[in-house]
Structures are given as C-alpha cells and as structure tokens.
Amino acid sequence: MNESAFKTLLTSSPEHPPVLFHQRMESTLAEIVRQEENEMKESTKQALKKGSIWGSRTLAIALLITLLLGSVALAAGLGLFQQLSQMPQEDKRLPALDQVSTPLNQSAATDAGVTVTIRQAYYDGQRIFVSYKLEGERVAVEKGEGIPQVKEWAFQQEGMLYGRDYDSAMEGDEEIAAWLDGTSPRWARRTATAPHDGLSLSDGTWLDIISGNAYQQEDGSEIGWKECLVPQDKQADTLEVNLMLFTGATTYYQDEQGMKWAYERVGENVLIPFTVKKDSITKALTGQADAGKWQAKADVCLSPVDIRGEIVVSCPKEWADALVDWKENDVNPIADWQLYDGDTRVEGHNLRGGYRKQSENQLAYSICFQYGSDTKHLKLVPVYLDGTADPAHAIRLEVPTITYQRRK
C-alpha cells in the first residue's frame, strides 16, 4: 500500500462527529449562554446598587461566547449542503443533511483540467446523498468556417436559424448564436463536462437520481447535490460508489439553408470512487389501518433527514379508475397523506406525493416528509380527493416487532 491509498482509506472512513456529540456541544453552549444571562442580570442589580459599571468584563465574556458559539456555528453551518440550502426554493432537508453527512473531499480531474470534488456523502440504507463541486473550464466553445467533420448528424431542419428558432438553454448559447448568423456556412462546437445524473456502484449497478440541483457560482465553479436510490438487493452496510464525470461535444452547423447538429462523447468517463457507510440511526417503521372500505399498510424509513416510504392501499377498483385512468365516477379515493406527530400535524407537504396502480385493487402511494425527529407517536393521515383529512383512520407507525418461533 502506498501513502495515497492509506490516505484514501482514512478519508473514506465514517469517523465524523456524531449527532450525539454535536447535540451535546450545542446544549452545553446553550447552558453557558443561559448562565451568562443570569450572571449579567445579577451584575446589573449589584451595579445599580453600587452605582458601578460592569462593561469591560461583560465585553470579554461576550467575546468568548462569540468564539465558542462561532466554532459550533461554523462546524454546523458551512458544509456544502448547508451552502446549497441557502439557494431560493431549495430542498428543506439540506441543513439536516449537512449535520449528518460525512465530509469526503474526494477529487478527480479530466484531461482538460475539469476537477470534481465530492464534498459530503450520506447513506441512510436506501439512498445516497452527495454534495459536489466542479471547477475548471467546464464549457468551451470553438468556432469555424465551412462544413465540420462529424460522425452523424442527429438533427437537421431547413429554414431554422440558431438563436432565432433554436437555442439549447446552455452556457455559451449567446456566443454561438452571434457566430451562426446564417449569412455563410459556419459551425460552432460546445464541449461541456458534467457529472452524470445518477451514481453507480462498484459492480456497475446504476443508482437512479431522485432529486438534486446544481448552481453556477460567480467564480465559474458549479456546486450541486444529488439524492440517488440504491436498489433493494444492493443495500448493504458499506457501499463502494462512483460519481461519473463525462464530457460531450455538440457541433452546430448553420448555412443559408438551415441548421444541423451532432453530438458525441469526448474521451473516457472519469470515475470518482467513494465509500459510504449506512447510518445506524435510520429506523424502519411499519403500520396498518383498516377503514372497512379500504385497508392500508405502510413501510417507511425514518432517518435524521426525512421520513419516506410507500403505503399500499387495498381499495375498490373504482379508485384506480378515478386516480390513475382518469375515469369519471363518484368515488372519493385517498389522494395524499399528511404526517402527524401525536395530534399535531407536521408542517410541510408530502415531497414525493404520487401514486401508482399496483393491481386492479391496489394503489401504492409514495411519501416523503422533511422530518428528522425521533418520536414514538408518528401517524400518517389519509386525505381524500375532496380535500378532507381522515384522522380516525390514520396509520400509526411503529418499529416492527419480530417474533421468533421455537424450533421443534
């Protein structure tokens, strides 16, 4: 083993401040602040009695508290997930992800000098979340006169003019449109490097993306995050994962007749391997409800980031007709679910609201709520198509009980 392999192994090990450590640090600092407030109140009383001033001592203490709290605020608040959470309309789960994810800083670069760094990763047993940063010249535009060499044109349209009738909504469009003005045969090529949508396991299994976003920064870099699903038969305590960086070139040709474009991959994909370890805090919860007309069974996963899973409802055939096949009938099927903690509804809507027909008499509903608290009183309340909630037939979520059978 060389020093670099040793470093990689150490970096990928999941040794990071656990939630317990962070919480204890925060609660201790909160206690210190409370003590300081009490002391200040007392000092004020004494000062008023004695007519003295306590300014300088308080100033020194305030500085110390700022230093202490600043340390925690930095630790808790400057990860990339946290930075991404400050983007408008971003996913509300990102601050929690910042707390529980493992810092990685695994990098790789393309031959053209584009570097991708995986900054944080989190694996709850079913999904992998990563935050990453892309640096270097990610998009390059080349231009030329005449007809370019391409393997095969993927698209061609007579009478179409780039910039007037067509744009790709990608970086460099303005420059390309200014060049391809249709006055003479010209071409432009945009070469772009980007991470693949999903992730892959070391055995090649593809992990589909569920959600994510990417943003260009003022310094030209790009930051982003992804949430990818691990197939059930591949879920394990530790996974070797790859983020894949690929480069592609789109060549546009414009002449007086019209426009054409061709696309081809450039060079080899660059893999950035990293290891994730399952978070042991994540819990599987199940529950059932029977309303007579319908019966439901929920299988969900409660992680520090969210609560998500599926509810399978056995119901009249007409429900699927109305919801999935858009047939008009008089039924009032379950259309969505709300999360309750005890008798209080948890704020926020179902992030993955949706349903699919599992069979003629079964509908499967996806649920995902931003909720990281551990509680024993979680309930899923059905909401019918007409908007009414039905707390009387809620599904109570519990840790599944395992029954052991004595061997004969």
Partner 1 sequence: MQMERLMYHVSHAYLQNPADCADAVQEALMKAWQKRHTLRDEGQFGPWLIRILKNQCKDMLKKRRRESLFPLEEDSALQPGPEPLHPVMEAVERLPAEQRLLILLHYKEGYSLQEMSHALHLPAGTIKSRMRSARKALSRTLLIEWEETI
Q: Of 59, 80, 79, 68, nearest to 31 (Cα)?
A: 68
| Closer to partner 1 by Cβ: residue 9 or 87 | 9
Q: Tell the smallest beta-carbon distance from residue 85 to partner 1 (Å).
A: 17
- Does residue 25 touch partner 1 according to CB under 8 A? yes
| Closer to partner 1 by Cβ: residue 20 or 169 | 20
- Does residue 38 touch partner 1 according to CB under 8 A? no
> Out of 49, 50, 55, 67, which residue is the one contacting partner 1 (CB under 8 A)?
67
> Out of 43, 47, 54, 76, which residue is the one contacting partner 1 (CB under 8 A)?
76
Encoded amino acid at 120, one letter: Q
- Does residue 282 touch partner 1 according to CB under 8 A? no
Q: In sequence order, what are the residues at sequence separation of 6 or more whose Cβ sits closer than 8 angstroms to the Cβ of residue 381?
A: 337, 338, 339, 340, 345, 389, 390, 391, 394
CA gap 124, 281 in Å, rounded: 8
| Residues within window 153-172 making contact with partner 1, judged by CB under 8 A | none
- Does residue 35 touch partner 1 according to CB under 8 A? yes
> Out of 68, 140, 201, 364, which residue is the one contacting partner 1 (CB under 8 A)?
68
Q: In sequence order, what are the residues at sequence separation of 6 or more whose Cβ sits closer than 8 angstroms to the Cβ of residue 313?
A: 294, 295, 296, 319, 334, 362, 363, 364, 365
Q: In sequence order, what are the residues at sequence separation of 6 or more whose Cβ sits closer than 8 angstroms to the Cβ of residue 60?
A: none
- Does residue 59 touch partner 1 according to CB under 8 A? no
* DSSP codes of every residue in 9-36: HHHHS--S--HHHHHHHHHHHHHHHHHH
**DSSP character at residue 162:** B
Identify which range of 68-76, 153-161, 293-301, 375-383 contacts partner 1 by CB under 8 A.
68-76
3-state secondary structure of 278: coil
- Does residue 87 touch partner 1 according to CB under 8 A? no
3-state secondary structure of 234: helix
> Out of 62, 78, 147, 399, which residue is the one contacting partner 1 (CB under 8 A)?
78
3-state secondary structure of 256: coil
| Closer to partner 1 by Cβ: residue 63 or 324 | 63
| Residues within window 89-128 making contact with partner 1, judged by CB under 8 A | 103, 105
**Tokens for 322?**
């109305």
| Residues within window 1-20 making contact with partner 1, judged by CB under 8 A | 1-3, 6-7, 9-11, 13, 15-18, 20
Write out the residues near partner 1 by the rule CB under 8 A. 1-3, 6-7, 9-11, 13, 15-18, 20-25, 27-29, 31-32, 35, 60-61, 63-64, 67-68, 71-72, 74-76, 78, 103, 105
